[in-house]
Amino acid sequence: MTTEEIIIGLCCRVDDQLGEVPVDALAHLYPSELVTIGILYGIMGQGQSAFYRWLVRDYRPLFPRLPERTRLFRLLTAYCDLTDDLMAEPSVLGVVDTYGIELVHPYREGRSNGQIGRKGLSNHRWIVGVKFAVVLNAQGQIVDWDLDTANVADNSFAPWLAEQAAVVYTDQGFHRREGDAANLKICKRGSHNERMVVETVFAMLTVVCQFKHLRHRVWAHLTARVAATVALFNVLTGWDGLPPDETGRVHLSIAEFSL
């Protein structure tokens, strides 16, 4: 598919899933167009200025009433809750893990009074940023997510995780001294390898969306970027449905949509 075909197909799929959303009479873009632009922003994995230049230069005819750059990104932040309609359906079995997102280099920690990231451990290394906690269903799509600073322990997400599925597989980092929820299955290292689907998801987001290193300085804008990235993963992996192979395994891929 060409990039134009991807954008048109993406907008159609987003519009079908959003359903009826109230539209302001003075709005220049429909809600489905805003969510589509947010997803394209997540796929590009670039900064706001570079993405806006690319969109205006190459695809302005698809969005003829595109607002000015700063106005556009304020709208993406204001309407990021619409991505909740693009979450996958939960299943009986859920898998959860956290993913560290670096916002600044550790050497630059504390240089800005407006720093939103905090110093913490991710994959046995120090980062200054945030932790992205994600719940997957049995097909590997994202059911729900949460975001907190990197200095927060993984087990702080445990009470929220207990509400996401009948059985939630986690690693030992989610164990709580005061006791775990009945549906949390704390797996020892090397056991229940079906949990490794979450590592596949994180690898795709890292390579295709450059999700490991973000440069946002405002929490609302960071949340909007994460919400758009979650939405793009679900839409793109489900582009042609989720057909299993002869062994019953669903193969997830978003590399063919890389821009």
Whether residue 102 lies inside any domain: the answer is: yes
Instruction: Measure the CA–CA gap between 195 and 95, rounded to whole angstroms.
Output: 6
Residue 248 has pLDDT above 80, yes or no: no
Cβ–Cβ under 8 Å, residues 49 and 70: no
Dist. CA 259–CA 250, nearest whole Å: 24
The model's pLDDT over 66-121, given as tens digits with 9 standing for 90+, comes to 999 999 999 999 999 999 999 999 888 889 899 999 999 888 888 888 789 999 98
Burial 97-107 (b: 16+ CB within 10 A, else e): bbbbbbbbeee
Cα distance between residue 68 and residue 71, in whole Å: 5
| Element holding 223 (H helix, E strand) | helix 219-237
Whether residue 182 is contained in a domain is answered as yes
d(CA 129, CA 251): 31
pLDDT in tens, 82-91: 999 999 998 8
Per-residue model confidence as pLDDT tens digits over 122-141: 888 899 999 999 999 989 99
Tell me if 171 is assigned to some domain. yes
Question: Which pLDDT value is given to residue 162?
Answer: 63
Residue 21 in any domain: the answer is no
Task: Say if 41 falls within a structural domain.
Answer: no
Residue 187 lies in a domain: yes
pLDDT exceeds cutoff 90 at 165: no
Residue 254, domain member (yes or no): no
Q: Which domain holds residue 196?
A: 93-216
Q: Where are the alpha helices (H) located in 19-105, listed in sequence order?
A: 31-44, 48-59, 69-78
Residue 77 resides in a domain: no
Mean pLDDT of the chain: 90
In this prediction the pTM is 0.91
- Three-state SS sequence of 3-35: HHHHHHHHHHHHHHHHCCCCCCCCCCCCHHHHH
* Domain count along the chain: 1
